[in-house]
Structure 1
């Protein structure tokens, strides 16, 4: 079954001041996302700090999230890592829980060639029964998943079913959509930039998987509903609010701090620290974040 079009939240991973997962606060946050009508939730995307948790911490978090979400919305898990063995281990672990699919980023540090990337994604796809959504974030991985590569993978691996295209260029996303449509019509392409929902849908995409959904999921749900209903005024209103909130990304050293700070400013009293190495949110930044979200 293809992924639903809509707005997906790559949830922050909420921890306490000592860095341990805060089940109570994270559970409240997940409930808020679900109650707001978010299409689905991703654990351990970039905003979830997937790169900074140990395997055991990830497994513990997956178990908690799956049991808490309990099928109320589709739950996805980011399994990206530089070691194929680690990717496969976490992917296989997710098969024991109510997980709808996996998000898989390219290997980073040594950006793989077209051939190496194809081998990597194919190896993982063959090692799991779960659907896989490719995650393209060249600003962080140092390499791009080209439209040709994505189309090859969609054609040769039936359980590679989608792409999150975190590229600040809708032309790239549109080229992927056009290439994949020829070989896998049910393949879904999402933008990774919050303000690209509308242009993504116009280009034939399925929506967004974006960080500001943590802060105002209601606004994104309103945008999706307005688009589906051809409510132009509703689309403009919600998109304008999202455009305003984009300023949050420029307030902190790393955007994860900004999202955690905004979730706190919006009313959920959480610890805003992120895993080291990192520059933590300061009081001046918190005040700026509060002013932006109004």
Structure 2
């Protein structure tokens, strides 16, 4: 790896994967990265993919050393995990942004003192997600719960293709954002059957929004 500093405004950086390491190794890895990025960093905790859980202790140590580490995307199924990180980190670093990585945990994370969610569904359903943010910010619990139930159902979108990116790319093309449907291996291009499933979800959600 070269020591040339890259100028990025903001980068989500996942931890090292495949080769196992301990907290000291994870901390050193992020030290190395943070010192070589001219821009802000969002730590990306995804234990299902990396094989380790980025601990609150490591995050706190990193925040003492690197002002360009400004947030965390916590992709962990149980919202209690993100809530625990909020309770450990926010009292000392209230400006540090903590996001859910799972769309359906958004409302829970915000109500627990977090900052929201970095959600892939917002690419294909931007209006719905924007309305959800607005409902939460204005304390409209009725609308918040209504959209929560819709988002819960839309989580099936991630199961249309494995990985979900082929279906997501097709969904973007349907809503008017020209996107090539080709994918990097081992992901395969979306099939006709998968296209029909995406079309069905988009049609259903559009009809709900227009009511």
Same fold per superposition (TM over 0.5): yes
Per the TM alignment, residue 286 of structure 1 is displaced from its structure 2 partner at its CA by 0.8
| Cα contact 1:192–1:208 (8 A) shared by 2 | yes
| Cα contact 1:165–1:190 (8 A) shared by 2 | yes
- With 149-158 and 193-202 compared, the bigger mean Cα shift is at 149-158
- Show the counterpart of 1:283: 192
- Show the counterpart of 1:247: 156
| Cα contact 1:247–1:292 (8 A) shared by 2 | no
1:146 and 2:55 correspond: yes
Between the aligned partners of 1:192 and 1:163, the Cα distance in structure 2 is: 9
| Cα contact 2:100–2:117 (8 A) shared by 1 | yes
| Cα contact 1:245–1:293 (8 A) shared by 2 | no
Per the TM alignment, residue 209 of structure 1 is displaced from its structure 2 partner at its CA by 0.4
Instruction: Detail structure 1 runs of 4+ shifted over 4 Å in the superposition.
Output: none
What TM-score results when the alignment is normalised by the length of structure 2?
A: 0.88
1:94 and 2:7 correspond: yes
Pick from 188, 194, 202 the counterpart of residue 103 of structure 2: 194
DSSP 3-state at the match of 2:44: strand
Matched length: 203
Between the aligned partners of 1:94 and 1:133, the Cα distance in structure 2 is: 15
Using CA pairs under 8 Å that are at least 6 residues apart, name the structure with larger relative contact order, 1 or 2.
1
Per the TM alignment, residue 173 of structure 1 is displaced from its structure 2 partner at its CA by 0.6
- Show the counterpart of 2:37: 128
Alignment of 1:143-222 (within 5 A): 143-222=52-131
Between the aligned partners of 2:157 and 2:26, the Cα distance in structure 1 is: 33
Between the aligned partners of 1:175 and 1:155, the Cα distance in structure 2 is: 19
DSSP 3-state at the match of 1:264: helix
Per the TM alignment, residue 197 of structure 1 is displaced from its structure 2 partner at its CA by 0.9
Unaligned runs of 5+ in 2: 204-211
Q: CA RMSD of the aligned region, Å? A: 1.8
Unaligned runs of 5+ in 1: 1-84
| Cα contact 1:194–1:208 (8 A) shared by 2 | yes
DSSP 3-state at the match of 2:6: helix
- Show the counterpart of 1:261: 170
Per the TM alignment, residue 269 of structure 1 is displaced from its structure 2 partner at its CA by 4.7
| Cα contact 2:166–2:187 (8 A) shared by 1 | no
1:117-137 CA-to-partner distances (Å, cap 9, x unmatched) read 101111222233422110011
| Cα contact 1:164–1:190 (8 A) shared by 2 | yes
- Show the counterpart of 2:22: 113
- Show the counterpart of 2:208: none
DSSP 3-state at the match of 1:270: coil
What TM-score results when the alignment is normalised by the length of structure 1?
A: 0.65
1:228-253 CA-to-partner distances (Å, cap 9, x unmatched) read 11111221232222222111111112
